[in-house]
Amino acid sequence: MKKIVAMVLAGGAFSALGIIAGRRAKAAIPFGGIYRIIDFVLSNLTNSNIEHVGILAQYRPGSLIDHIGSGASWDLFGRTRAVKILPPYKGEDDSDWYKGTADAVYQNLNFIRDRNPSEVMVLAGENIYTMNYQELIRFHREKKADCTLVCNPLPTADPHRFGVMTLEDDGRVKSYHEKPKTILGDYYSAGIYIFRTEYLIERLTADAMNPESRHNIADNITLDMLQRGDRFYGYVFNDYWAYCGTLEEYWKANMDLLDESSKLDLWTWMVRTNLDDRNIGGHQPAVMRPGSHVVQSLISSGCRISGTVENSILSPGVIVEPGAMIRDSIVMHETVIQKDAVLDRVIADKDVVIGEGSRIGIGDMSIVNTTFPKFVKTGLTLLGKDAHVGRNVSLGRNVLIYPGSSVPDNAEIESGDTIT
């Protein structure tokens, strides 16, 4: 059987996701109660019987390393299966940081060569989707392609953020423009590539020698393939695919879990996670106390609900005291919502405390955050990890509370403010 090696790009820092990405790589951000974003690509690899995985980590990889552990949670552990974290390393001729996605793979060519695969997959580790990669591999081999890129049909929100492409009738890529100002194409890149191994090594080596290159696969390798006339194909993916590039997109993808029509189904997708991470698997079942009210929500194990939860996602160990109300929100592990507090369109990171009688997420949604006006502008209020909000506090919309920060009792924080 031909061997496949997968290289997962999981090292990015994304300011658009604000403080929830401030202490961790984007791929390590919690999702859907007990999962993390990287669980989706790892589960896809496992479910597609791809057994050799390298994870290219760079930005604050500690949380990611702890979560992946030995890889046993995804059955990527044993004599013939393995997952390995591949951070940048120092050497006489190597930089301390990856210069780009192409350079990240280039610096780890020994990982690929040691496993002698017939093909190499390069995948973004930061999207929400399910895919049987074996179907992609069959397409790639049938076309005798040098490279195949998975693409999604247009339209999509803000397509100028992606590579936009057109295809010939047989699937060969006719045109490709990375992050174009003018959208001329039918598809956009999903950030999932498969390369013939010898071809990938050749192109990465040439790119590394080019002083004018940005050393990115999308910016340089992809465009070079087209110019050379290489066998470059597009594989059209027509199912659910969510890009968590902004706070609103991250929030919306989580909310899709509560919408039966969205096609985002963690159970049928067979998504795995590390249940030893924060002892997720050791929690008792959630408890709904007398007087509690839960509507269209995902409540994880270990939660104790005495108030009201509507259209929200709660990670393990969240406490909702009597009279408290959570609406259209994402509340992460071990956060405490004290008596009579109200949350509306809030993303609360782990170990947050909301004081009694506080109101979080009120006021004018159109007032953008003054510090990050491009990124915090849709009415979501963010509470960083270990933040503490006192009693009877009023917090507006598009507000950021930085990790570890405190808001004193009776404070009134206007919409668009930032607390550091």
- Contact partners, residue 329, CB within 8 Å, separation at least 6: 312, 313, 343, 344, 345, 346, 347, 348, 361
Residue 113: enclosing H or E segment and its boundaries?
Answer: helix 109-115
Residues 191 and 232 in one domain: yes
Q: Is residue 418 part of a domain?
A: no
Q: Domain of 381? A: 286-413
Residues 151, 218 within the same domain: yes
Burial 155-193 (b: 16+ CB within 10 A, else e): eeeebeebbbbebeeebebeebbbeeeeeebbbbbbbbb
Most distant pair of Cα atoms in the chain: their distance: 68
Q: Are 192 and 303 in a shared domain?
A: no
Q: What is the CATH number of the domain that holds 339?
A: 2.160.10.10
Q: What is the pLDDT of residues 299-342, one digit of tens each?
A: 999 999 999 999 999 999 999 999 999 999 999 999 999 999 99
Written as one letter, the residue type at 398 is N
Q: Give yes or no: residues 317 and 404 share one domain.
A: yes
What pLDDT score was predicted for residue 117? 97
Answer yes or no: is 295 within a domain.
yes
Say how far apart CA 286 and CA 318 lie, in whole Å. 9
pTM, entire model: 0.94
Same domain? 20 vs 155? yes
Under 8 Å between Cβ of 183 and 189: no
The count of structural domains within the chain is 2
Domain assignment present for 327: yes
* One domain, residues 324 and 232: no
Last residue of a domain, one of 241, 256, 271: 256
344: which 2 tokens?
């509306």
What confidence score (pLDDT) does residue 99 get?
86
Q: Are residues 115 and 29 in the same domain?
A: yes
What is the Cα–Cα distance from 272 to 419, expressed in whole angstroms?
36
- The reply to whether 368 falls in a domain is yes
3-state helix, strand, coil in the chain (%, to 5): 25, 30, 50
Average pLDDT by consecutive 10-residue portion of the chain (420 residues)?
A: 90 64 81 96 97 88 88 92 82 61 94 96 95 98 98 94 96 96 94 98 96 94 95 98 92 96 93 91 94 97 98 98 98 98 97 98 95 93 96 97 96 96
Instruction: Return the structure tokens found at 375.
Output: 């990124």
Same-domain pairing of 293 and 397: yes
Please give the structure tokens belonging to residue 83.
Answer: 């997952």
Residue 262: inside a domain: no
Q: Are residues 305 and 211 in the same domain?
A: no
Per-residue pLDDT at 13: 58
Structure tokens at 31: 């999702």
Residue 271 lies in a domain: no
Alpha-carbon gap, residue 361 to 293, rounded angstroms: 20
Residue 117 token pair:
């695969």
Q: Is 398 helix (H, G, I), strand (E, B) or coil?
A: coil
Q: Exposure of 209 by Cβ count < 10 A (0-12 exposed, 13-18 middle, 19+ buried)? A: exposed
Tokens of 30: 């919690």
CATH number at residue 147: 3.90.550.10
Q: Which residue has the tokens 């990115």?
A: 216
**Residue among 89, 129, 125, 126 at smallest CA distance from 109:** 89
Work out the end-to-end distance of the chain between its first and last CA atoms, rounded to an integer number of angstroms: 55
Is 331 part of any domain?
yes
Check whether residue 245 and residue 366 sit in a common domain.
no
Co-location of 66 and 180 in the same domain: yes
136 part of a folded domain: yes
Tell me whether strands 241-243 and 127-129 are parallel, antiparallel or unpaired: antiparallel
In this predicted structure, what is the pLDDT of residue 92?
43
Are 96 and 207 part of one and the same domain?
yes
Residue 397 phi, psi dihedral angles, 5° rounding: -95, 160
> Which contiguous run of DSSP H or E holds residue 247?
helix 247-256
